[in-house]
Amino acid sequence: MEEFLKQYLDPTFAITFAYLIKIFCIVIPVMISVAYLTYFERRVIGFMQSRIGPNRVGFFGLLQPIADALKLLFKEIILPEKSNNFLFFLAPLLSIAPALAAWAVIPFDFEMVLADINAGLLYVLAMTSIAVYGVIIAGWASNSKYAFLGSLRSAAQIVSYEIAMGFTLVGVLMCANSLNLGEIVMAQQGGISQWYCWPLFPLFIIYFISAVAETNRAPFDVAEGESEIVAGFHVEYSGMAFALFFLAEYANMILVSILAVIMFLGGWMSPFSFMPDGIFWLLAKVAFVLFFFLWFRATFPRYRYDQIMRLGWKVFIPLTLIWIVFVGAMMQTDYAEYFH
């Protein structure tokens, strides 16, 4: 694409322009997936609870997310009188920006990646770790006790589960011997038996549960806990400002699912060696993982706050540490091939 643009434009502009087009090619599908993930969520949970869910707008209700987006666009943004104006508007931006920035290093297919950097895994971790600022600042700037309590809960939860999540990624990078996400997928070549979810099975489970907690999804959604603190950190937000939080939450959900697929389920590799690899495998696996998020929300009751903290600090972190030592020890034995 860069060569094509260089025929018409100045070389520096051509490179910038090519990157812009690539960025749009990632962001727009992400936004559309977010919209239809909300539709899918409402339908799936509806069926799980013997309801129908949205089915009026368009064919099978397929235009419902677009109607919702339009509704949110035209709603008034209410600014609480005693809030901190600047930070109140900064918070939604701080929560959507890292959720989208992390997509820069995600490989969708062989060499189909915006920024093929060496420390891709670290970059993703860094981006997901700064997403918490949106939540904290929103809670503080709203000047409301419910919002503040919600943001404190969420901050504590995200910081605790980030550690367990980071340790599971240590296991993956020990096996793959690389921090580059593309190389991690390439290391899982050769069918379903080579995927890292088998040698790192406990880490895979812990990663997935931590991912649910990181994204503040049920059953770990004490940050929103509507029965206790109304709607948590975004209780004072309306219209587009609320929609940005909503977008960030779902974009993060898709992001952690795609990371689970890349690191543990072989990315774009096909599960059987006789079938071709390709981006459709990645999308199918991501859809499968995302379904679990919806299933969890429909099934499990909300955790109590102290139970969440206990699970994170006293169960997950020791377990991941033990498994990292175990993997390291196994790599020195004759069974090392199973851990590569």
Partner 1 sequence: MMQFSDYIFYFFSSILILASLKVITANNPVYSALSLVLAFFSAAGIWLLLHAEFLAIALVLVYVGAVMVLFLFVVMMLDINLESLKKGFWSYFPFAILIAGVFIVEIYLVVSDKFFLESQIESFGTSKSNTHAIGNILYTDYLLPFQIAAIILLVAIISAIALTMFGHKSHKAIDPKDQIKVRRDDRIRIVKMKSEKR
Token pair belonging to 106: 């995600």
Nearer to partner 1, 123 or 167 (CB): 123
The minimum distance between CB 155 and partner 1, in angstroms, equals: 6
Query: What contacts 24+ positions apart, CB below 8 Å, involve 83-86?
Result: 83/141, 83/142, 83/143, 83/236, 84/140, 84/141, 84/143
Q: Which residues bind partner 1 (CB under 8 A)?
A: 12, 87, 117-119, 122-123, 125-126, 129-130, 132-133, 136-137, 140, 148, 152, 155-156, 159, 162, 179, 306-307, 310
The minimum distance between CB 200 and partner 1, in angstroms, equals: 20
Side chain identity at residue 322, one-letter code: I
Nearer to partner 1, 35 or 186 (CB): 186
The minimum distance between CB 6 and partner 1, in angstroms, equals: 17
Closest C-alpha to 199, from 174, 178, 219, 180? 174
Closest C-alpha to 120, from 186, 190, 164? 186
Nearer to partner 1, 12 or 227 (CB): 12
The minimum distance between CB 136 and partner 1, in angstroms, equals: 6
Nearer to partner 1, 130 or 298 (CB): 130
The minimum distance between CB 32 and partner 1, in angstroms, equals: 29
Q: How many angstroms separate the CA atoms of 57 and 54, rounded?
A: 8
Could you give the 3-state DSSP secondary structure of residue 23?
helix
Nearer to partner 1, 53 or 120 (CB): 120
Q: How many angstroms separate the CA atoms of 129 and 157, rounded?
A: 12
Q: How many angstroms separate the CA atoms of 132 and 55, rounded?
A: 35
The minimum distance between CB 59 and partner 1, in angstroms, equals: 43
Nearer to partner 1, 87 or 324 (CB): 87
Q: How many angstroms separate the CA atoms of 16 and 279, rounded?
A: 25
